[in-house]
Structure 1
């Protein structure tokens, strides 16, 4: 087996003292273990109680069944040929034998070389005892060898269709990440030492936090990724001054107060995703995109979607377009007198905006004069690992549960997104919270990430089937309001932003989708991922972005010829939007006696939690 990192020579003189692993106060340790067991019982009770009362139904059966079904297909390939199976097993055991031999040589004083080493970017094995202590070094190398072997089984399996291979790789990665020795007290030197030093108090605190998080999830685990007590909507996040100027059963429309002597004549409407909440664009003031937009002279309107419940079960995409986007356009026209506006959509909010623009083109509604899409997919052929959850069997099972309740519980979607990066978004917090017993740090972005929303049954079913499963939007086959819509009918200027490391809307997927529009498209690639690539204030001077004109040919060729720029894409977009509409007018102040005003931003819908 090839190395996974730089080889390092190990000598027995590196061995640490065992004193760090010896319990100093057995009575205190035993008492804390008893307290931990007591807290674990409370956690179990918090999980069981809502299920006994019929308040919670699990959707675990189908995902587990799908995982077993998928990995069974993988096993069939390797077990169908005894020679092939023996070859795979021999490769694994030969690496185990090499690791064991090195361990024996190390104990006798000989220098050795690692059979496997972690990637330098892997933060899990940073404690020095992963290298200095022979036992933990052995565990580390066995784990790394086994992990690579398992992923290679998927890569080398023949006869798997692309969807099955993608699912198999995804599920193997989940198992690999879950089985890491860094996730367990007895196999992680840092956790072991923490437990000994605190006489097990870390485990008591961890079980208490686990109980609190299950209670917060009303029977499901709501893994805390940030200190939620530090943030308050309207006080230190979502603080850009503005007013709610319209409201219906599905959306509030927020108009933000001007901050410049002149404003652009054409207002800007932002359509955020209904998965999570709009204030990803209005985080802490120094990171708020909305505040920055206002400071550049834009009259900004934002749709704040309702957190739906059973009453909204039948709100489908047409409802979200009519009662969301077009309701906002009507509000803007009434408020400003403008019939020409710029529109921007983020993630699935951009997908909805694209579908709305195609429908409006069919219906002769030409109020939107330019469109900006942030990490938005309109073609789902290369949609990434989220497609793992999308096939007929899984969608049908999900629809059965959704139409029974009227919505998809937000924790289910949050869990799916976290699983896409489980090594970053799940296991580090499991270890920190429930084993080290430490509260996570305050971080506005992760606070927002945990503020999940439900999804109405009709909306989510339509989205999964028409976009992920059948890819109807990009193929010109999507039906809305009795119209067969086509993205080619969107002839306005388009700014399409992708993020290079995006795991939700991959850069390739956004690139291919950008070729579907009928007008002039400016494709820009930002550094970092789905969130950090978008929320990147110029003052931070972080990351970079690439420009290269239209999205033509293939992405690798486009990137080879693109120009790299340091810092944020925000200023580049500002130049682009000014080229579409440079004319300015007097600012649109929101007066105290304004009869449209229903309350202060960020409004009431954003406060509804699951």
Structure 2
């Protein structure tokens, strides 16, 4: 008789405790934060020279600020004592130049400047801990910004006076409605101006394949001839695919179809506790490889332009490397949108990545079987706290403005979960250990190397990306031994990609590097390539055409004889999973 092994009770108890804690810490590890704080505190307290500098700095700056404030109280045109950092829009309104608001704003910026000085440059503090403490100090200071309070924000005061207090009353109404929806978990889908399948994700097409992880959508052609090689788009599974098929005017899918391309799109299943053991290999095999198999049935003997966005771009790169290693030549090209392959400089997301934090997150996911949307949203919200928290509080609750809703904001609120095993593997192998760039990432029984990729690559990065900083994305040049066309576009991680022709204030830079070319540092690349007005979609479409082998008649929708019948109309069923 076989005896069942005893469960690891001690480990399970630890995990349960961490999972319970995580509900109150928004997934942040208290140990990780404490280690960072103690590292900074101990080294600071043992650096009398630095402490003397800090004391001297605050006394000197405070004295100078006092004299400036006296002048500014009489002259609203006085030059600012401290210039706001580039991108800081909090005090741009002319009302902040009037006394006493000019003194309030400048006093706050002085505090921000001093605390940055106090939390950086401490001898002996680990760089990661320094970044965490500096970031935490900024978040705490944001609580006290004069922009966030009705009586210290001149725009709020002026609007309250001009509307007879109606703006504040409307703001209170907005707050009560948001609290009600939050408590009832009611998103009011019937009241939304953008609905999936109607205003969003409405490009005509058919679902021709479904497994436990993906639905594969084939879009209907709109031209008499199409490029011989079809396009397979692998979106990030952290969000719904339809960011690439938003409204009719800014749908990348519709743009490609109208340009004469046959487009296939992966729509990911929204995992739940039953999918806890799905790993990176499942996303590769059930996702990219099964989709390629279906496309090969619809268009036999035709190679494929593989396209990946964010996490989907990293997965597409892994697939391309594994296929090259195994002499699988079904790819015609590889395109990556804001996708990282080297994670040594992965931006401010690395604030939440260390051994302590990952172990804590794994315990939280172990309890549920997945990482829920609130925990993921919490990290991204902190990284853009002004745009996603404070500016919304000011506009909706203090100024009484109606909530702004557009197609991109609707998509941004439609997030998905991530399975326990996959997310743990992704964070450890890629973020923490950087296995992909180091040639250690395993696919099957053997590791892969990005230097095996031989198909031409088109790589897109965005200038103000908080998720995949463009200099990090740029590292692809050092990892691949193939022709790389690199496009750097204006905008952020999402808005920079949804950059249709005709979109105002859009620009991009474009450069090509071959294996024979010498390495160009990222900042040098920036200086060497001129900015061009317009959308990067257009040069990418031309690039796809240049790397295609001609035109053919549009293929049939699916191939029932080969086991890929039409299952349902686009956008399918997985996109509606909550």
- 1:431 counterpart = 2:385: no
- SS class of match (1:522): strand
Contact in 1 for aligned 2:323/2:329 (Cα 8 Å): yes
**Offset, 1:80:** 2.2
- With over 3 angstroms needed to count, the CA separation of the structure-2 counterparts of 1:121 and 1:479, relative to structure 1, is closer
Aligned 8 A contact 1:340 1:367 in 2: yes
Corresponding residue SS for 1:524: strand
Structure 1 residues 65 and 210: CA distance shift in structure 2, 3 A: farther
Alignment gaps of 5+ in structure 2: 1-19
For residues 13-52 of structure 1, what are the structure 2 equivalents within 5 Å?
none
Which piece of structure 1 moves more, 89-98 or 580-589? Answer: 89-98
Describe how 1:290-439 pairs up with structure 2 within 5 A. Answer: 290-439=253-402
Aligned with residue 449 of structure 2, among 480, 483, 486: 486
Identify the residue that residue 143 of structure 1 maps to in structure 2.
108
**Cα deviation per residue 1:74-123 (whole Å; 9 max; x = unaligned)?**
23333323453243133224333433344445667899654224357533
Partner of 2:430: 467
Which residue of 2 is the match for residue 449 of structure 1? 412
8 Å Cα contact 2:29-2:360 kept in structure 1: no
Cα distance between partner residues in 1 of 2:104 and 2:492: 32
Q: CA deviation at 1:403?
A: 1.3
Question: What is the CA deviation profile of residues 250-272 of structure 1, one whole-angstrom value per residue up to 9, with x for unaligned ones?
Answer: 11000000011100111110000
Match of 2:39 in 1: 73
Contact 1:205 1:438 in 2 (8 A): no
Contact 1:541–1:566 at 8 Å: present in 2 too?
A: no
Distance 1:216 1:343 in 2: 42
Deviation string 1:41-62 (CA, Å, 9 cap, x unpaired) is xxxxxxxxxxxxx999334374
Change (3 A) 1:442 1:366: same
Q: Check if 1:214 corresponds to 2:203.
A: no
Q: Which moved more, 1:494-503 or 1:391-400?
A: 494-503
Mark the CA change 1:563 to 1:62 in structure 2 (over 3 Å): closer, same or farther.
closer
Report the CA distance between 1:321 and its aligned residue. Answer: 0.9
User: Which residue number corresponds to residue 573 of structure 1?
Assistant: 540
| 2:114 is the alignment partner of 1:152 | no
* Structure 2 equivalent of residue 601 of structure 1: 570
CA RMSD of aligned residues (A): 2.8
Does the CA-based 8 Å contact 2:228-2:302 persist in structure 1? no
1:24 maps to none
Deviates more, 1:366-375 or 1:559-568: 559-568
Residue 3 (structure 1) aligns with? none
2 CA distance for matches of 1:446 and 1:330?
A: 34
1:15 matched residue in structure 2: none
Q: CA 1:584/1:339 → structure 2, altered by over 3 Å: closer, same or farther?
A: closer
Conservation of the 8 A alpha-carbon contact between 1:102 and 1:113: no
Q: Are 1:537 and 2:500 counterparts?
A: yes
Deviation of residue 454 (structure 1)? 0.6
Q: Aligned equivalents of 1:442 and 1:227: distance in 2?
A: 14
Alpha carbons of structure 1 residues 128 and 340: separation in structure 2 relative to 1, 3 Å: closer
Q: Secondary structure at the match of 1:230?
A: coil
CA contact (8 A) 1:383 1:504 kept: yes
* SS class of match (2:512): coil
Aligned length: 550
2-side partners of 1:488 and 1:227: how far apart? 50
CA apart distance, 1:443: 1.5
CA distance in 2, matches of 1:55, 1:523: 44
From 147, 155, 161, give the equivalent of 1:190.
155
TM-score by length of 1: 0.84
SS in 2 for 1:156: coil
SS in 2 for 1:366: coil
| Whole-angstrom distance in 2 between the partners of 1:105 and 1:312 | 65
My pick for the range that moved more, 482-491 or 55-64, is 55-64
Show CA shifts across 1:338-373 (max 9, x none): 441111001110101111222223334321121111
**Aligned ranges 1:61-140 → 2 under 5 Å:** 62-104=28-70, 113-119=79-85, 121-134=87-100, 136-140=101-105
CA distance in 2: counterparts of 1:61 and 1:337, whole angstroms? 47
Determine if contact 2:22/2:29 at 8 Å carries over to the other structure.
no
Alpha-carbon shift at residue 543 of structure 1 (Å): 2.2
1:557 to 524, 537, 541: 524
CA distance in 2, matches of 1:227, 1:149: 49
Q: Distance in 1 between matches of 2:25 and 2:386?
A: 23
1:309 Cα deviation (Å)? 0.6
Q: Distance in 2 between matches of 1:583 and 1:90?
A: 71
Q: 1:435 to 1:213 in 2, by over 3 A?
A: farther
Counterpart of 1:11 in structure 2 is none
Q: Residue 146 of structure 1 aligns to a residue in which SS? A: helix
**Structure 1 residues 601 and 58, CA gap change in structure 2 (3 angstroms):** farther
| Displacement after TM superposition at 1:176 (Å) | 3.1
- Deviations 1:417-471 (Å, cap 9, x if unpaired)? 2222222222101222333343321221122111111111111111100111000
Q: Which residue in the other structure is 1:548 paired with? A: 511
Match of 1:286 among 227, 249, 255: 249
The equivalent of 2:129 in structure 1 is: 164
Select between 532-541 and 234-243 the one with higher mean Cα deviation.
532-541
Contact map agreement 1:414 1:450 (CA 8 A) in 2: no
CA shift, 1:504, in A, is: 1.3
Q: Which whole-Å CA distance do the structure 2 matches of 1:69 and 1:248 have between them?
A: 44
1:312, distance to aligned residue in structure 2 (A): 1.0
Among 552, 563, 569, which residue is 1:585 paired with?
Answer: 552
Aligned residues of 2:26 and 2:375 also touching (Cα < 8 A): no
Contact kept in structure 2, 1:227 and 1:442, CA below 8 Å: no
Provide closer, same or farther for how the CA distance between residues 128 and 427 of structure 1 changes in structure 2, counting only shifts above 3 A. Answer: same
**Aligned mates of 1:393, 1:324 — CA distance in 2:** 31
1:484–1:160 distance in 2 versus 1, CA, 3 Å: same
Match of 2:474 in 1: 511
Which residue pairs with 2:16 in the alignment? Answer: none
Say whether residues 1:247 and 2:210 are aligned partners: yes
**Rounded Cα–Cα distance in structure 2 between residues aligned with 1:269 and 1:471:** 26
